[in-house]
Every structure is written in C-alpha cells, then in structure tokens.
C-alpha cells in the first residue's frame, strides 16, 4: 500500500508569518504525497473583530450564524488558503487549495439543533469524502490543501473544525493508502507539565483518561485527542502530535496509540 501523510496545522502557527514560513519550507521538502489541512480560527476572530462580528465559541466550536459563515468562508477558503498555496508554489511544491465544496470533496450534514444551535456548522464522516478525486490529484503530483470548510450539497458552505476534517480525511484515505496523521501546533507535543514543557512520548486511552481527569490535558487538546483516537479506531495507521518545527523529525512529539 502506498503511503500518505495528512498534516494539520493549527491556528497559532498560521497566525505567525515566520512560523508558517518555517513550517511550509519543511512541508515543501517532503517527497511522499501529503494533504495539508489548516485552521485559521484565530485569524477569523481577529478579522471578525475589525468587521464588528463577535466570535461566539461553545466547547471549542464556533457558533456560525450567516454573517460568521461569510467571514469564515472568506478567511479559510480565501485569504488563508490562497496565501498558503502561493507560498508552497514559491517553494517549488505543487498544491491545490480546496474547500469541501470544490470537486464535492467533502459533503457534510449541518449539525442538528439540540441544546445548542451551532448554526452553519458541518458534521462529516468518511463516507462524505470524495477519495477518488483526491487520489487522482495526488497521482498527478498535485497536493490538496484544505481550509476548514465543507458543504451540504444544497448550496451552503459549512464551517467544520480543522482537526475533525484532518481525522475524517485520514480515515477515508486509509481505504487506499497507509495513512499517517500528524497534528502540528505550537507546543512540543502533548505535555504532562505545561510550565516545564515535559512531553508525553506515548499516549494511550488509559493514560489519556487519567491526564484528562487530573486536568493536565484540557481545553482544545481534548477534541484534538478525541479526533486522534477516532482516527486510530477507524483504521488510520499512525497519529502523532508534534511541534510545527519538528515536521521532518521522526521521533518528535507525542505518539498516539491504542
């Protein structure tokens, strides 16, 4: 089976031009096929503030009303995505910027309203991924770069968490490839001591639960790790959580294991 790496880059890295450039330089040096997924939540919040659109988050998910959907479509599908693709081209790496609507690559369902109405937020499963189109792009040597957007097939874009998109893409592509999923962010890995930056080298469900119960693992790291374990349970070969500057270091960060 051919190898494929799916790499997600977090908002704190893409918000910092120097860090982003360093990451993209390392990414462009890779020779095996790869798909890049980017967030940009922080940039959407900043631009929203300038436009008078206030960010409302619940459990790390953005409540996406109609004007917020326009904002994130502009930021994730436009500004951030196109800047990343242009930078990759300048480094000799052929990339194509996509949202889930382009080529119907990621068809999602609007999250049903229960206790909370998240608005135009999409839930996606591996069945909604057009793997054959992605495969043919990769066969042509063109590497997809995804913003955090899907669509509902009825004319609406949907805002979808970038960690989840990376996990679902990894699961879907595992039917055809041996997939490694890599979450890159600004810390050196999942930490057991945040102050002193002590990295947990291997995280399994049992110690994940213990670290969660004691509060050592909290906030945005919880949905990220839930996505990581979901991916492994659904057939993804390997998942790592690493610092963005360690992309090409084999042993860096935290290995997630079942």
Ligand X SMILES: Nc1ncnc2c1ncn2[C@@H]1O[C@H](COP(=O)(O)OP(=O)(O)O)[C@@H](O)[C@H]1O
Q: Where are the beta strands (DSSP E) in 39-151?
A: 57-58, 61-62, 95-98, 109-110, 122-123, 143-146, 149-151
Nearer to ligand X, 78 or 220 (CB): 220
**234: how many CB neighbours lie within 10 A of its CB?**
15
DSSP label at 127? G
Tell whether residue 43 is a contact of ligand X (CB under 6 A): no
Calculate helix-pair angle for 80-90, 17-28, nearest 10 degrees: 50
List b or e across 138-159, with b for residues whose CB sees 16 or more CB atoms inside 10 angstroms.
Answer: beeeebbbbbbbbbbeeeebbb
Contacts with ligand X2W in 117-146 (CB under 6 A)? 121
**175 in a labelled binding site:** no
Tell whether residue 216 is a contact of ligand X (CB under 6 A): yes
- In the bound complex, what is the minimum distance in angstroms from residue 124's beta carbon to ligand X? 17
Piece of the chain touching ligand X2W by CB under 6 A; list 82-90, 156-164, 194-202, 245-253: 156-164
Tokens representing residue 102 in the block: 């382009």
Contact indicator for 157, 120 with CB cutoff of 8 Å? yes
**41 in a labelled binding site:** yes
**40 in a labelled binding site:** yes
Binding site partner of 40, from ligand X2W, ligand X, none, Cβ cut-off 5-8 A by kind = ligand X2W
Site residues for ligand X2W per CB under 6 A: 10-11, 39-41, 44, 61-62, 72, 121, 148, 159-163
Q: Which residues are annotated as a binding site?
A: 40-41, 62, 159
Q: Which residues are annotated as a binding site for substrate?
A: 40-41, 62, 159
């Amino acid at each position: 089976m051919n190898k494929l790496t799916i790499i997600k880059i977090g908002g704190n890295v893409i918000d910092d031009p120097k860090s982003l450039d360093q990451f993209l330089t390392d990414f462009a040096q890779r020779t095996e096929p790869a798909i890049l997924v980017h967030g940009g939540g922080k940039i959407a919040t900043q631009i929203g503030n300038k436009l008078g659109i206030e960010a409302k988050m619940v459990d790390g998910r953005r409540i996406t009303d109609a004007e917020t959907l326009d904002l994130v479509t502009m930021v994730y599908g436009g500004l951030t995505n196109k800047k990343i693709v242009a930078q990759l081209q300048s480094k000799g790496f052929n990339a194509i910027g996509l949202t889930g609507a382009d080529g119907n690559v990621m068809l999602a369902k609007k999250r049903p309203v229960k206790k909370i109405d998240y608005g135009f937020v999409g839930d996606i499963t591996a069945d909604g991924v057009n793997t054959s189109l992605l495969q043919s792009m990769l066969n042509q040597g063109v590497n997809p770069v995804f913003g955090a957007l899907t669509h509902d097939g009825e004319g609406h874009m949907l805002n979808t968490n970038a960690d989840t998109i990376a996990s679902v893409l990894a699961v879907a592509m595992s039917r055809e490839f041996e997939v490694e999923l890599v979450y890159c962010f600004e810390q050196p890995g999942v930490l057991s001591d945040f102050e002193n930056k002590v990295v947990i080298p291997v995280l399994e469900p049992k110690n994940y639960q213990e670290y969660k119960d004691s509060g050592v693992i909290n906030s945005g790291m919880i949905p990220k790790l839930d996505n990581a374990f979901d991916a492994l349970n659904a057939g993804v070969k390997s998942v790592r959580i690493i610092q963005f500057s360690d992309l090409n270091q084999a042993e860096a960060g935290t290995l997630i294991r079942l």
